[in-house]
Every structure is written in C-alpha cells, then in structure tokens.
Amino acid sequence: MSYIDELFGLKNKVALVTGGGRGIGQTVAVALAKAGAELVIISRSGADETVKLIEKEGGKAYSLIADVTKEASVDTAMAEILKRSGRLDVVFNNAGVCIHKGTLEASIEEWREVIDINLTGEYIVARAAGRLMIEHKIKGSIINMASMSGSIVNIPQWQASYNASKAGVIHMTRSLAIEWAEYGIRVNSLSPGYIGTPMSVDTPKELKDAWMPLIPAHRMGKPEELAGAVIYLASEHSGYTNGSDLIVDGGYVCV
C-alpha cells in the first residue's frame, strides 16, 4: 500500500452519493470508487451510466431510485443499503437545483422547490444516514454540498432561494457536526465556486462572461477539482476536521 493510499484510501468503506447520475456527483462517485469505496448512487431517475463507469474501472457500485425530499423514499433506500452492503461509512449529499430568477419574478412554488431539494433534502438524507451510523456504531463522514453562494451574493444573476438554501446547509452542517461529534460522526460541507458541468452548458453566455473577471483564477473549475476535497473529508485522515466548510472556488470569496 502506498503512502497516499494509506492516507486517503477508502477500502472496505461504503459511500453514498446523491444526485450521482451526472456532473459533479458522477465525477466524485467515480473518484470515491477509485479510492477503494463501494459506491451507492441515489437519483430520481437512476444512475446506470455512473455504475457502468465505476465497474469499467474495476470498482463496485449500484444505483437506487429515491427522492431526497421524501423521508419515506430515503428511509427505504437506507434500508436497502443496509441489506445489500451491511453498512454506510460516507455520504456525499450532493443532489441540488438552482433557479436564476429575481425575487419579484420567482414564484413561491419555485422558492419551495429549491429549499426542499437543497436544504430539506440534504437534512433528510443526513438525518437518515446519521441514524443508521449511530444505531450501528459507525464512525462515518457526511459531506453536505453547499456553495460559495452560501457565503456571498452572486452577480449579475439573482437567486435568493439558492443562496439562502446553501447558507442554510452550511449552518445545518455545523449544527449536526456538534450534535453528533460524541458518536464519532463528522459532518462537513463543500462549497464550490463556478464549476463547468453539463448543467452549466445551459447557462447564458452573458452570465459566464460576467463571472470570469470576478474569478481570480479567470476560469470555471472542473468537477475533478472537487474530487480530492471530498476524498479528504471522507478519509479517516480528516478525523479532526468537523463542522468545516471547505471552499473550492478559485479564490472568488476572497475578493
């Protein structure tokens, strides 16, 4: 075993990724598998492509269909994970959505959709995973997907619901970290900046052109540049990192 494998290897660990059918979730799921973990991918429409990518690399994975906003759906998925894998060590709580609309244009239904998926959905998954870990005495790691938008207000697009949801995720993460520290469960959040994913393909060019001068790195990040951060937080060598928000944004929030 190499020194790096010893530090960050996830052999004999079971990792769950929500929203792992594409984009950041898919990239991170493949990376976690390469680090040695058995992967479980949860999405609303299945994640067969991600499973195939992992298996092609010699990894082990399966997907489950579940809606993170529905407690019963998540509980059913957790029971299936326990049945098929016997444990759950790592959660990358990644499922999310963003609606770029000004406050006066966005409907209350759109506000609720964003809050339900980004904040309540992450709470439901974290709660179910935490319960499983506590009941089975597993000292696990839960990594909630936040955003630099939880710390700054993005311009020129308006997205109050998204910003509020991600700020909520950051503080929820801190709260759960303190609540569950006595069980050896660590809860941290990851706050990416602008990342180039399939979702960002539909972003209007004028928005991207406005973002670039504001990013000290003068480019969007790559999903692969988040994988190392997640592996660090998932590994046992981040054992003293708890309640932290790890920002990976090319320096945006420093300006």
CA 124 to chain centre: 13
Backbone angles phi, psi at 41, to 5 degrees: -110, 125
Active site residue 162: yes
Tokens (6 digits) for 213: 């001068």
What is the residue-wise DSSP string for 142-192? EEEE--GGGTS--SSS--HHHHHHHHHHHHHHHHHHHHHGGGT-EEEEEEE
8 Å CB contact between 150 and 166: yes
Task: Give me the residue label for tokens 């708890």.
Answer: 242
Give yes or no: 147 in active site. yes
In sequence order, the 6+-apart residues with CB closer than 8 A to the CB of 89 are 10, 13, 14, 15, 37, 138, 140, 141, 234
Active site residue 252: no
Please check whether residue 15 is in contact with residue 38, taking contact to mean a CB–CB distance below 8 angstroms: yes
Q: Which of 63, 166, 194, 235 is catalytic?
A: 166
Task: Give SS3 for 88.
Answer: coil
Q: Say if CB 224 and CB 27 are below 8 A apart.
A: yes
Catalytic entry in 162, 194, 232, 252: 162
**If you search the block for the tokens 């109050």, which residue do you land on?**
160
User: Of residues 147, 161, 191, 238, which has the active-site annotation?
Assistant: 147
Beta bridge mates, 188: 143
User: What DSSP designation does 221 have?
Assistant: B
Active site residues: 147, 162, 166
